Amino acid sequence: MNEPLVFMFSGQGSQYYHMGKELFKENTVFRQSMLEMDAIAARRIGTSIVEEIYHPAKRVSDPFDSILLSHPAIFIIEYSLYKVLADRGIYPDYVLGSSLGEFAAAAVSGVSDAENILNCILEQAILIQKSCDKGKMLAILDHPQLLKDHPQLFRDSELISINYDSHFVISGEEENIKQIMEVLKEKQILCQQLPVSYAFHSSLIDPAESVYAEFLSSISFKNPSIPMVSSLTGGCLREIDKHFFWDAVRKPMRFREAIGYLESQHTCRFIDLGPSGTLAAFVKQLIPGDSADRCYSIITPFHQELKNLNTVECFRTPERKFTR
């Protein structure tokens, strides 16, 4: 396999108002997929997610952190962008999800159809909102050694991800995260609170687990038909067990290890199908040398998605046909 193509899907924290706005206005495939998924979600929650994403009174900088809307919104955006690429004859050799992005990766790889996966996302959002106390996630631009150097500061938080050598993420109760932020700013250590209202990948969401596990036990999932590399395991998944769609948002993220696995197998090219280009930015830090020439993002907060879409036309492979 010569330079296989990897589709990457990001999770909570990558969403914002008006994401994909250019595509929604100009691309029929994207808009149709968005509206189809929106209709499915609206029947369940009674609200149009598309109308919320493109609410005229909202700014890109406003926090889009209502889980009942942001959870499905991320999936709808990512899956619709996949449909655009597939319509152009661009297909993945691998899919790679991180956190909630594992759901989109599973849908693309044929684990289940998009409607079923969307219902799994909606059920998870409903249960977390009903059962769990709110919390926060904090990205810190420093070496994870900081956690060992200041154990008292981080004692009431949980390390949930090391994305590269100088970038890690913690989760915790809102007040504890606020105190950590204040100390880090005093030390002139860069950090950024993610636009989420729950502490994903931490024990704070455990109250939703048992009921969600019961929900998942009633659903059948297939094995991936496109190789699925997971940030849950840091490797390639051959089958999906009943706990996967809970563990993907509860256990620590191993995105760095997942990229390491792919690069140990091939020299890959990566397209970030998330709304913010976050994973592409991480990959550029993780792979040496020509990383800028091997990493692409399409949707970003700067609304250049039509231009960015044209840059990946070189990956057109019309001879490969997938039905999803």
Q: Name, in order, each residue with C-beta under 8 angstroms of 114's C-beta and a sequence gap of 6 or more.
A: 37, 79, 107, 324
Rounded Cα distance between 62 and 315, Å, is 35
Comparing C-alpha atoms, which of 312, 317, 248 is closest to residue 81?
A: 312
Rounded Cα distance between 64 and 62, Å, is 6
- Backbone conformation region of residue 55, classed left if phi is above 0, alpha if psi is from -120 to 50, else beta: beta
Q: How many CB atoms lie within 10 A of CB 307?
A: 11
Rounded to 5 degrees, what are φ and ψ at 230? -115, 140
Query: Which burial class, exposed, middle or buried, applies to 111 when counting CB atoms under 10 A from its CB (0-12, 13-18, 19+)?
Result: buried
Active-site residue (options: 14, 98, 99, 112): 99
Active site residue 99: yes
CB 236 within 8 A of CB 227: yes
Active site residues: 99
